[in-house]
Amino acid sequence: MIRSFLITLLAIFVFIPAVQASDPFESMACRSGTATMVHNSKELMIIGLELKGMLRSNTNSEMLHNVSEIGAGIFERTGDEIKQSGYCKYMYLNGDINVVRWDGNGNGGEWKFLLGTGKWENIKGGGTWSMLQRGKSIAPGTFQNCIIIKGTFELPKSE
């Protein structure tokens, strides 16, 4: 009995350091972009999106803080249903990047990390995004908005 307890206790101390806890964060992204109409009818609307902007942390995390953003996506409206999806690349001041895939409706959705370089190599994680504010289009075929990105990330433990 004592031997089983000691083996279990030893296993816990050996394996726990290998597990990396998820770190939570929240950032705000404000960006502008262009919208290209692919198709527009009563039944179906498809718009291609390209966006550029900047992010800042709302939680004093290094994750997605003071980064530049570029993204591409598709907006689809079928009847009253809205779907959108795409990819964004975030670049830090030192040149490290994160790439994410996102999807959702007109007001929010989910995202996940696909790639990280430098400090963020082998990153895992994801979370949600939600629309914070939409601005009035400053020019035809453009949009401006701010979103809140919430999530968690894990990095491999350094040995």
Q: What percent of the residues of the chain are helix, what percent strand, and what percent coil, each to the nearest 5?
A: 15, 60, 25
Q: How much of the chain, in percent, has pLDDT values that exceed 90?
A: 83
- The predicted pLDDT at position 117 comes to 98
Pairing mode of beta strands 23-40, 44-57: antiparallel
User: Which class would CATH give 22-154?
Assistant: mainly beta
- The predicted pLDDT at position 157 comes to 85
- The predicted pLDDT at position 1 comes to 52
What letter would DSSP give residue 65? -
Residue 31 pLDDT > 60, yes or no?
A: yes
Quickly state the pLDDT bin for 3 (edges 50, 70, 90).
low
Residue type, 130: S
For the segment 20-35, the average pLDDT, to the nearest whole number, is: 92
Quickly state the pLDDT bin for 46 (edges 50, 70, 90).
very high
DSSP string, 17-61: GGPPPPEEEEEEEEEEEEEEEEEE-SSEEEEEEEEEEEEEESSS-
- Taking CB atoms within 8 Å and a gap of at least 24, the contacts of 137-142 are 138/32, 141/34, 141/35, 141/36, 142/32, 142/33, 142/34, 142/35
Quickly state the pLDDT bin for 14 (edges 50, 70, 90).
very low
Residue 138 pLDDT > 60, yes or no?
A: yes
Domain boundaries, given as residue ranges, for the chain: 22-154
Could you give the count of Cα atoms lying within 13 Å of 127 in the half-sphere of its Cβ? 17
Residue 6 pLDDT > 60, yes or no?
A: no
Helix (H, G, I), strand (E, B) or coil at 11: helix
Quickly state the pLDDT bin for 19 (edges 50, 70, 90).
very low
